[in-house]
């Protein structure tokens, strides 16, 4: 059972509080932040269990041997009765209701922003830590936005909700952040090639259906996207803002600033949906403060966690979404000194957005929570707890 002070003050939490070796850093945080006390075999819920990401969350919990004490699968009423396999056991899907979170330690949410807005605070109130895959809370100053390889320490200041980043942002930052550490990134220009599974299971069906309709010479029907996606590309992901960018495009700058703790980072992005089933790719031109060479960049990227360097053009070796699908690691390649920037590097990154951009990152956050908890109980040195008031 987990608790955080300031919210979710259940009786169990109060009882456990007395036993926890809580650390208090009021001077830095400006308010009380208590370290975590997590059940070592937590009761985990997956909210949106039947969706494209939900299914991957269940698979990833199993694959990572996450110490799940109990797994509860939650979804809308129309999915109730379905069963999904976890560790060889068939687990029935239950209806998502406001009373569903009693006794749940960690709730992995991936059922869209409006479900998160409605149910995540309820879950936190009931004592769960919510790891939310939607964009609902990502830019909330009270909610850490975490990629464990980059800012895992930020899980410590959560107040019941931790946000999972946008998928395109996550895939890009897996390569960009190590370069930023070495060369200090100023800004990037990027264009994405986003798979239909980023939209969800219905979009996978839509691409399949349209391709079959075309192969059979039938007319093409549209249900998910405003235009045919088969044999087409759509420069339209998420909704449009007043300034002409889409919300998706601005996530790179906004979430990138928060995750990298880099408030002046600039990113101009064009997000494009392509007829690929799984794994997003991004073409990036990055400008740095410090001089960068292909060799120095490669050395940095080869050491980066969660990232493979695939960059042997002479052998036609570069990251490809088809081969990145179902891979935990992201891949970077096409490294070159940018010919239009002075301290610039151009590169191409590709990664399974259902994994690193969603399910895998969420499970890694859960692992970070457990680790953070055991760190308090054991002697692991505490990581810096950044100020909540620092304008994340």
Told to judge if 262 belongs to the known catalytic residues of this protein, a careful annotator would answer no
The distance of closest approach from Cβ of residue 229 to a copy of itself in the complex, given in angstroms and rounded to an integer, is 9
Q: Which residues bind a copy of itself (CB under 8 A)?
A: 187-191, 193, 211-212, 215, 226-228, 231-236, 240, 243-245, 250, 253, 266-268, 270, 272, 274-277, 281, 283, 285, 294, 313-314, 316, 318-322, 333-341, 344, 346, 348
Told to judge if 158 belongs to the known catalytic residues of this protein, a careful annotator would answer no
- Active-site residue, from 43, 158, 167, 330: 167
With both helix axes pointing from N to C terminus, report the angle between 294-303 and 167-183 in degrees, rounded to the nearest 10: 120
Closer residue to a copy of itself, CB minimum distance, 11 or 340:
340
Q: Are 174 and 149 in contact (CB under 8 A)?
A: yes
The distance of closest approach from Cβ of residue 39 to a copy of itself in the complex, given in angstroms and rounded to an integer, is 42
- Active-site residue, from 37, 180, 280, 330: 280
Closer residue to a copy of itself, CB minimum distance, 65 or 316:
316
Give the separation between CA 151 and CA 259, rounded to whole angstroms. 6
**Residues 6 or more apart in contact with residue 145 via CB below 8 angstroms:** 138, 139, 151, 154, 162, 163, 164, 165, 255, 258, 259, 392
Closer residue to a copy of itself, CB minimum distance, 39 or 228:
228
The distance of closest approach from Cβ of residue 85 to a copy of itself in the complex, given in angstroms and rounded to an integer, is 24
Closer residue to a copy of itself, CB minimum distance, 156 or 257:
257
Per-residue tokens: 4: 């955080």
Write the DSSP symbol of residue 306: T
Give the separation between CA 111 and CA 178, rounded to whole angstroms. 31
Residue in 374, 377, 329 with CA at minimum distance from that of residue 351: 329
Closer residue to a copy of itself, CB minimum distance, 24 or 323:
323
Tokens 């330690």 correspond to what residue? 105
Residues paired with residue 29 on neighbouring β-strands, in sequence order: none
Give the separation between CA 109 and CA 87, rounded to whole angstroms. 20
The distance of closest approach from Cβ of residue 346 to a copy of itself in the complex, given in angstroms and rounded to an integer, is 6
Q: Which long-range contacts (CB under 8 A, 24 or more apart) does 180-183 make?
A: 180/260, 180/262, 180/288, 181/300, 182/290, 182/292, 182/296, 182/297, 182/300, 183/288, 183/289, 183/290, 183/291, 183/292, 183/296, 183/297, 183/300, 183/343, 183/345
Closer residue to a copy of itself, CB minimum distance, 199 or 253:
253
Annotated catalytic residues are: 167, 280
């Amino acid at each position: 059972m987990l608790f955080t002070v300031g919210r979710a003050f259940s009786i169990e939490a109060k009882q456990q509080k007395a036993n926890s070796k809580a650390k208090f850093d009021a001077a830095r945080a400006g308010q009380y932040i208590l370290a975590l006390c997590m059940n070592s075999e937590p009761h985990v819920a997956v909210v949106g269990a039947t969706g494209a990401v939900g299914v991957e969350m269940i698979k990833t919990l199993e694959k990572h041997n996450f110490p799940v004490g109990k797994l509860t699968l939650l979804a809308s009423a129309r999915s109730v009765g379905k069963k999904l396999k976890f560790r060889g056991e068939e687990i029935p899907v239950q209806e998502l209701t406001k009373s569903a979170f009693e006794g749940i330690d960690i709730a992995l949410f991936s059922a869209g922003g409006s479900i998160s807005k409605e149910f995540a605070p309820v879950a936190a109130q009931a004592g769960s830590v919510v790891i939310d895959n939607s964009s609902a809370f990502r830019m909330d100053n009270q909610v850490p936005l975490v990629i464990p390889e980059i800012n895992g320490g930020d899980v410590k200041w959560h107040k019941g909700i931790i946000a999972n980043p946008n998928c395109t942002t996550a895939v890009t930052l897996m390569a960009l952040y190590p370069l930023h550490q070495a060369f200090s990134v100023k800004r990037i220009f990027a264009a994405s090639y986003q798979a239909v599974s980023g939209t969800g299971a219905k979009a996978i069906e839509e691409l399949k259906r349209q391709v079959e309709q075309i192969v059979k010479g039938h007319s093409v029907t549209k249900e998910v996207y405003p235009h045919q996606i088969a044999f087409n590309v759509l420069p339209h992901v998420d909704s449009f803002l007043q300034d002409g960018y889409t919300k998706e495009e601005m996530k790179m700058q906004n979430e990138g600033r928060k995750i990298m703790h880099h408030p002046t980072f600039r990113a101009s992005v064009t997000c494009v949906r392509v007829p690929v089933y799984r794994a997003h790719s991004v073409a990036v031109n990055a400008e740095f403060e410090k001089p960068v060479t292909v060799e120095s960049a490669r050395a940095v990227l080869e050491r980066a966690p969660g990232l493979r360097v695939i960059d042997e053009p002479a052998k036609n070796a570069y990251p490809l979404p088809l081969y990145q699908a179902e891979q935990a690691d992201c891949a970077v390649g096409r490294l070159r000194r940018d010919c239009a920037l002075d301290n610039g590097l151009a590169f191409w990154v590709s990664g399974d957005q259902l994994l690193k951009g969603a399910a895998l990152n969420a499970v890694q956050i859960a692992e970070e929570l457990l680790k953070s908890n055991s760190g308090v109980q054991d002697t692991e040195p505490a990581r810096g707890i950044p100020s909540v008031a620092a304008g994340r």
